[in-house]
Structures are given as structure tokens and as C-alpha cells.
Structure 1
Amino acid sequence: MCLRHKPIAPHCLFNYSLCINNIRNKQQKHLIKIQLCAVCSFKDFVNMSAPASTEPKVCAQCKETITGQFLTALGESWHPDHFACEECKQPIKETKFHTNEGKPYCSECHVKLFAKTCFACDKPILDKCVQAMGTNWHEDHFICGGCKCKLVGTQFMDVKGAPFCQKCYLSKHADRCKGCSKPIADKAVVALDAKWHQMCFRCSKCEKPITSEQTFQVDDGKPQCVKC
């Protein structure tokens, strides 16, 4: 059987003699990706290669010369079973892996050790992280506690640890002005056991606003400026 047009696993490449000269140059120099070896049906050699030159490669983990298949990661060459997660010590079989301080980690361990936890769902955040109110959130989970609209990029108010959009805050949680009974969105004047809009806290006789620098007196439970 001629294997000229069939993929060959790296470890078979050096041991199989039939038609090997016709495919050696092509198969040696490229990473073999998810193909089934025509010799041994071995298919777990993603991102692995056979040495393409006579220059010996040294495994970054065991420091021994690599004579068979190997993989390249983090600028080093490794025996496939020696490229392992820093935490669980298991060989990393994934085509993608994570690093922290130059050390490789499998996806599961990287999430467990380094991923932030969403305040809303208590699950790890793998994509964009929203930091607000001293906590971390999934972008889709940082929403108004009232109407459930998304709050990323908008103004919001903190109500006992829950975020609210301005509209819901004013309609449901904002303090009401003693003078006009409307919600207070900005700074309030605290006086006479109540809160007031700055423009609503005024003399009950001359109706001029009473500022924080002015003294006032009380007449029948209503504020009056000193002049009146």
C-alpha cells in the first residue's frame, strides 16, 4: 500500500519504510492538525511535529533530548506528556491554553484560580468584566434592579447594593422633597426633619430660597428667613 497521499503520525514517520521518502519532507515540516494517521490510526497529535532538522531539541520540563514527537509552546519544545498544567499537573491536551506569570494552565484550573466571580450569578467571568460598586459583574448581568435595562455606559444609583437606572431610582427609591413632593435627584437640603430641593427650601413669606449659609427661623413648622 502506498501512503504517498495519506497523513502519517510523527512517531510512525520514522518507523515506516514504505514510500516514506515521498512524504517525509512534507509531513516533517508542518504541524499535523486533526488527521487520522494512515499507519496506526493515531489521531491525538494536534500541534505536534516530528523534528524537521538534525539539531536536537531539548524538553523544557525534563531537559532530555526529544527523539520522537514533540510540541512547541511558550517558545520551548516539550515532550507531549511533559507540557502540563502548573496546578493539576495533568498534560494539556487542548489546542489553546492559558498562562499566568509565564506558567501554563488548563482551562479548568485557570478559571478556578484566576477568573473573577460575578456578583449577580456567582459564576466565573470568562469574557468582559464590569467593575462597579466594588464588585465584578458579567456585562449582561449588570442591569437595573427595576426595569432590567443594561447599565453599562449609563448613570446608575446604588440602592442597598443593587444598581438602578436613573428613571427607576427616581420613581421608586429617591427621597421626596418636602416642598413639592417630587423626587430629589441631586443634592438635598436637610432641614426640619425632612429633605428639600435646594430651590424648594425657601422662606414661607417672601419665598426667597434659603441657602446653607443663611440662618432661618421656624414659624408654624415652616422655614422663614431672618428678615421676615
Structure 2
Amino acid sequence: MQDSSSVYFGSCGGCREAVHSSDGACRAMGQVFHSKCFTCSSCRKTLTGETFYTISGKIYCEDDFLYSGVHPKLEKCWSCGLFISDEVLQACGATFHLSCFRCVMCGQSLEDQPFSVDAQNKKVYCVSDYHRIKAPRCASCKMPILPTEGSTDCIRVVSLNTSFHVECFGSEVDLI
């Protein structure tokens, strides 16, 4: 028999019996549960106050959801190696957490940003770092040969496997 000062919350989403304030209760997924009834469908761990996931109406603790095969195959982040349980960013044939998709040089987030990759498709760079590190260097002035501002194309002169800025090529010839 319930204490007369106990408040009725509704029927338990687990056992369907009445839930009163004196029972120890929790709310989740728009329902009320006895604390003892709000458990993982796999391991029966009590989930009141814990992170939980639902699939097809069943409730799972984080460990069972992520590691026991309950959840459809989760992707692993190529950068950090951890499972991705929220939004997945796919680039260069790999998957990333949004927060892990960063330039390997400066650490800038590359989400929704243009980026470049190295020849092995393993390292991701912001465009400015990629140009700074990977751009061919002019044999005359030793500066990188980069696209002009606002452009994605650059012009270089290659002579005898040596690269030059267009404007530096003539001066190099004059030095010979």
C-alpha cells in the first residue's frame, strides 16, 4: 500500500505498474519508469542518470550499444581510432569525428573548409599549409609557386626539371 502523501506519476514504461514518488522514479523517452525498471535490455544495468541508447524500442547502456554488436556497425575515426557514435564526416576514403578532421600542421578544423591531402592520401592539410609545405619552390627566388589570391590555378615554368615563377624565369636565364 502506498503512502497517502505519495504522488502518482503514471504507469511504468517497463513493468506497466503504477509509479509513485515514493518508488524512486525517472523520466526518459517521454515515459516514467521505476528506477529499478529502467535497465539495459542486454546486461540489465540500471540506467537512471546514465547515458543510454534506444534501438527499436529497446534501451541499452553505452557499453552494450557501442561494443556488443547491438548497434549496427559503428565507424572508427581514422584520426583518433575511437568509435563514432554521432555525426560522421567522410573524406579521403576514411571516416572522422567532426572534431578530428583537422589540418595536420596547424590543427585548424577542416569541417566545411577546402582541404588538400598528401600523395599517399594519409595527411590532411588546410589549403594554405598544403601550399606552404608541398608547393614547388622557384629555383631563382626560392619562394613557393602558389596560385594568385582568389585563384586555384598557378602558372610555373619547368625547365630541365627545375621550377620557376613566370616572372623569375627570365631573370634566371639572364644569370646564366
Does the pair score TM above 0.5? yes
Q: Which residue of the other structure, out of 141, 158, 166, is the alignment partner of 2:127?
A: 166
- Name the aligned partner's letter for residue 100 of structure 1: I
Could you tell me which amino acid in structure 2 is paired with residue 93 of structure 1? L
Please say if residues 39 and 60 of structure 2, whose CA atoms lie closer than 8 Å, have aligned partners that are also in contact: yes
| Equivalent residue in structure 1 for 2:77, among 118, 123, 133 | 118
Larger CA Rg, structure 1 vs 2:
1
Question: Is 1:89 matched up with 2:43?
Answer: yes
Structure 1 match to 2:107: 148
TM-score (norm 1): 0.46
Q: Which amino acid aligns with 1:94?
A: T
What are the Cα deviations for residues 66-103 of structure 1, in whole angstroms up to 9, with x where unaligned?
A: 478587766788776555434x3324323452112332
Deviation at 1:136, TM superposition (A): 2.3
In structure 2, the partner of 1:103 is 58
Letter in 2 for 1:29: Y
Distance 1:166 1:104, change over 3 A: same
Counterpart CA distance in 2 for 1:148 and 1:67 is 54
For 2:40 and 2:97, the matched residues in 1 are separated by 27
Mapping of 1:68-87 within 5 angstroms? 83-86=38-41
Structure 1 gap segments, 5+ residues each: 1-13, 31-48, 52-56, 201-228
Cα distance in 2, alignment partners of residues 102 and 177 from structure 1: 64
Which amino acid letter does the alignment assign opposite residue 46 of structure 2? I
RMSD: 4.4
Question: 5+ residue gaps in structure 2?
Answer: 167-176
SS of equivalent to 2:90 = strand
Q: Label 1:75 to 1:150 Cα distance change in 2 as closer, same or farther (>3 A).
A: closer
Q: Percent identity?
A: 21
Comparing 148-157 with 128-137, which one deviates more in the overlay? 128-137
Q: Which amino acid aligns with 2:125?
A: F
Check the 8 A contact 1:177/1:183 in 2, yes or no: no
Aligned length: 150
Tell me which amino acid in the other structure corresponds to 1:123.
Answer: L
- Which protein has the bigger strand share? 2
Q: Using the alignment, how far apart are the partners of 1:140 and 1:76 within structure 2?
A: 33
Instruction: Give the TM-score, by structure 2 length.
Output: 0.56
